[in-house]
Amino acid sequence: MATPQRDVTIDYSKAQKELLIEKHCAFLTGYGHSHSKYEYGITDYLRMSGVYWLCTCLDLLNSLNKIDQNYIIDYVQKCHDKTSGGYSPCPNHDTHLLYTLSAVQILVQLNRIDLIDKQSLSSYIKQLQQDDGSFIGDKWGEIDTRFSFCAIACLKLIDSLDTIDIDRATDFVMSCLNFDGGFGCIPGAESHAGQIYCCLGFLSLVQRLDKLDLSTRNMLAWWLCERQLEKSGGLNGRPEKLPDVCYSWWVLASLKILGKIEWINSDKLIKFILASQDDETGGCADRPGNVPDPFHTLFGVTGLSLLNAFDENIIKKVNPVLCMPEYVIEKYGIKMQLL
Ligand code: GRG
């Protein structure tokens, strides 16, 4: 007898079915202002990414005018380390590739690419590349395919890809490919939807999706669409895990790059995302009934965008590789490969 799938039970007859745009905007803008709140205090180590989630989500919801853009640009500038060329999550913290990508995404999105010192940013990224082509995230030396993606995405946004050894970087990413068609964070590590997005995004940005032959691509697309759970319709990040709204981004974006997004049952997933909204406070949680946060709110909205669940004047089109509004990517003429 087949083992039943781990899943959550949702009473869809009582679940939220409308998109709560105004509430989400109030939730997101309020998050940034509540400096005295406990949540604000304990999230300083990832604040730059939080600001990126906020700007991207508001822009996709046609509400970027609800924040003080100069205040945000000022914040990003305060996190720039002139010595290394990278950015930290908040002032006086160490720089890291994760927050450097978020900072670059914010400046590009807010039309202030002129504030980026391309030369010093490129050198910062170059010195993080290792002999095997991998990237460390910071001086402490952790290696992860997330950092390969961050490095390439930053360089692509400032049109400086040739700064690093792309062939060796590609070889490292390919060395993280597993027998099931998925990718992990280092060679031999378990396949995970988040890492798959990073590796496919990397290959898309360097235009080397040909590194995956047809049977690997199909196996990977099957693995990805098997992330959809029968009962709830939500997606998990790997087998035997519970569904989580954020995988509406990591899994769908990966399928979009592979040209197989229609392998997901979109009606069921849209219902799951909408049910994960908090109809009192606004914002999306990881799954219905849990506490909402800006991370899951962005990835709920980007998931809905990839599924074309609403008209473009309600949710703008998101770019499946860089997770930024498509109009920004088009404005800068940034090219990537989609199958
Ligand atoms: C520009 C969108 C964008 C991203 C930048 C940082 C990054 C590049 C990508 C992160 C990819 C990733 C690893 C996502 C997964 C995040 C997540 C929810 C991890 C939780 O992992 P577990 O093992 O959860 O705690 P599961 O769901 O497996 O139980």
- As a whole number, mean pLDDT of residues 302-322 equals 98
pLDDT tens, residue by residue, 63-116: 999 999 999 999 999 999 999 999 999 999 999 999 999 999 999 999 999 999
Four-point Cα dihedral 73, 33, 65, 121, nearest 10 = 20
Band (pLDDT 50/70/90 cuts) for residue 327 is very high
Nearest to 173 by CA among 213, 136, 144, 150: 144
pLDDT tens, residue by residue, 216-247: 999 999 999 999 999 999 999 999 999 999 99
pLDDT tens, residue by residue, 18-37: 999 999 999 999 986 666 66
CB-defined site of ligand 1, < 6 Å:
98, 101, 146, 149-150, 194-195, 197-198, 237-238, 241, 244, 246, 250, 323
Is 131 a residue whose pLDDT tops 90? yes
Return the domain boundaries, the chain.
21-32+43-332
Query: What is the position in ligand 1's atom list of the atom closest to the CA of 286?
Result: 18
Give me ligand 1 centre to Cα 91, in Å. 24
**Structure-model confidence comparison of residues 31 and 204, the more confident one:** 204
Output b/e per residue, 245-278; b: 16+ Cβ within 10 A. bbbbbbbbbbbbbbebbeebebebbbbbbbbbbb
How far apart are the C-alpha atoms of 261 and 258, rounded to whole Å? Answer: 8
Task: Tell me, rounded to whole angstroms, the distance of Cα 272 from its chain centroid.
Answer: 19
Domain 21-32+43-332 has CATH 1.10.8.60: no
Task: Tell me, rounded to whole angstroms, the distance of Cα 333 from its chain centroid.
Answer: 20
3-class secondary structure for 113-138? HHHCCHHHHHHHHHCCECCCCCEECC
Helix (H, G, I), strand (E, B) or coil at 9: coil
Contact 227, 181 (CB under 8 A): no
**Structure-model confidence comparison of residues 282 and 44, the more confident one:** 282
Cβ burial, residue 337 (10 Å; 0-12/13-18/19+): middle
Specify the pLDDT at position 38.
Answer: 67
Give me ligand 1 centre to Cα 1, in Å. 32
Give me ligand 1 centre to Cα 194, in Å. 5
Give me ligand 1 centre to Cα 13, in Å. 31
Please give the structure tokens belonging to residue 185: 């964070």
How far apart are the C-alpha atoms of 279 and 259, rounded to whole Å? Answer: 34
**Mean pLDDT lowest among 3-17, 122-136, 317-331:** 3-17
Mutate to test the pocket of ligand 1, among 49, 146, 302 (most ligand atoms within 8 A of CB): 146
Mutate to test the pocket of ligand 1, among 138, 198, 248 (most ligand atoms within 8 A of CB): 198
Specify the pLDDT at position 32.
Answer: 64
Report helix angle 145-157 to 118-126, nearest 10: 160
The model's pTM: 0.96
Average pLDDT, the chain: 96
Residue 318: strand pairing partners: 325
Contact 172, 129 (CB under 8 A): no
